[in-house]
Chain A
C-alpha cells in the first residue's frame, strides 16, 4: 500500500511541528488524539489516506506501549519512512515531558494542605468513575465468548487478590492461552468486516 503520488510528502521539520502541536493540545493522550490527527493529516494536509488511518488505529491497539507514541511511529513511517517515524515519536514525547517536569517540581509544595487533599480525593473518585465506564465499554466489546470472560475474570482476581504475582506474567500467560485456544473463526470474520 504505497502512498499515492497525488499525496504530499511532508518535510521533517513540518512533520515534527505538527506532531508536537497535536501532543501539546491533546489532553489524556492515546485514542483522544485520533480525531485531531484525522483533521490534521487527512483533511488539512493530505499526508495519509482514510485507509492508512483505519489500519494504523487497528495496528496500534495490538502493540505494546503507549498508544500516542505508537501512532506517531507508524504514521511517521508511512509519511516519511524511518526518519519520519523517529521525528514523529520525538515530537510526541517532548511536550508532556516538559509539562510534567514543571508540575513535578511544584507538586510537592501544594499537596498536604487540607482543601487540596480533599480536592484530590474528589478527583480520584472521578477518575474511578471514568475508568469504570471505560472498563464497561471495553467489556461490552470483548466479552462475547466463554474464553475472554474466563481470562478477564481470572486476570482481575489475580490483580486484586494476589498482588505479589507479577502483572507482566499474567499478560504473558494470557497471550499463551490465546495462542493455544486460537481465535474462533466467527470472531475473525467479525474483525474483517
Chain B
C-alpha cells in the first residue's frame, strides 16, 4: 500500500457514498476494517463517534484520521483529497449544468434505486455500532458456532435507551450534547457497576 493506492481507495469510497454521514460507515468499514484491516472495528467506531463531536463532516474526518494513522501527514492528505475528488469533479459539473441535471429523468430513476439502498447502509451501521456497544461481540454468534455468542453490556443498554429518549421527541438534545452526556454517564456507571 502506498500513498497513491490509499488515495484511490478513498476516492472509491467518495464515489459510492450518497447522502453522506452515516451512509458512509458501512463503506468505510467494508474497505478499511474488513478488506484492508487498517484499523480495528472498535477503533473505527470510536473514530466515528469522535468525528461527530469535532467540527467538520464525519466522512472527511474519518478519511483524515485513517489516512493519518496509516501514513502520517501524507496519508492524511491522500485520504482527505481522495474522498473529496469525486465530488470536486462530479458536483462541479452538476453545478455548471445545474437545472439540466436536476430535471434529467434517468438520473432521477437511478436515484430512485440508490436512495433505499442508502437506507439499507444506514440500518447496517446500526448493527455495526450495536455490536461494539450494547453487545460485547458480533451478532453472528447467534447463528454461527465459530463465533462466541454475544453478551450484553447493561451500562451500554442504559446509555442507548437514554440517548433514544432525549432525541426521539420534538425537542432533541442533538449529537454533541448526547455524546458528551453519554461519555460522562459511561464513566460514572463504570465506577459503580
Contact = CB atoms under 8 A, between A and B. Distances in A.
B34 interface: yes
A119 interface: yes
A143 B56 contact: no
A181 B113 contact: yes
B56 A135 contact: no
Contacts, number: 382
A96 B92 CA distance: 21
A163 B144 CA distance: 15
A156 B65 contact: no
A73 B67 CA distance: 23
Interface string B173-185: 0011011011111
A182 B112 contact: yes
A168 B115 CA distance: 13
Contacts of A131: 22, 25, 122, 125-126, 129
B122 A138 contact: yes
B5 interface: no
A178 B60 contact: no
A107 interface: yes
B19 A61 contact: yes
Contact of A183 (B54, B84, B108): B108
A53 interface: no
Chain A binding surface, main DSSP class: helix
Given A58-B102, A142-B116, A122 B182 contact: yes
Given A63-B90, A95-B55, A126 B60 contact: no
Contact of B132 (A64, A124, A142, A157): A124
Contacts of B54: 27, 96, 99-100, 103
Interface string A116-134: 0011111111111111111
A135 B119 contact: yes
B138 to A, nearest CB: 10
Interface residues of B, number: 108
Contacts of B48: 127
B3 interface: no
Given A134-B122, A183-B108, A188-B108, A26 B55 contact: yes
Contacts of B60: 29, 66, 68-69, 93, 96-97, 100
Contact of A121 (B68, B133, B164): B133
Contacts of A164: 34
A84 B178 CA distance: 36
Contacts of A176: 110, 113
Interface in A161-193: 163-164, 166-168, 170-172, 174-179, 181-183, 187-188, 191
A176 B98 CA distance: 23
A87 interface: no
A95 B31 CA distance: 25
Interface in B109-148: 109-127, 129-130, 132-134
Given A129-B164, A153-B120, A178-B110, A121 B57 contact: no
A167 B26 contact: yes
A122 B185 contact: yes
B121 A96 contact: no
A104 B79 CA distance: 14
B55 to A, nearest CB: 5
Given A26-B55, A73-B88, A174-B113, A123 B182 contact: yes
B58 interface: yes
Q: Which 6 interchain pairs have the tightest Cβ spacing? A: A96-B56, A178-B113, A122-B186, A29-B57, A155-B120, A65-B87
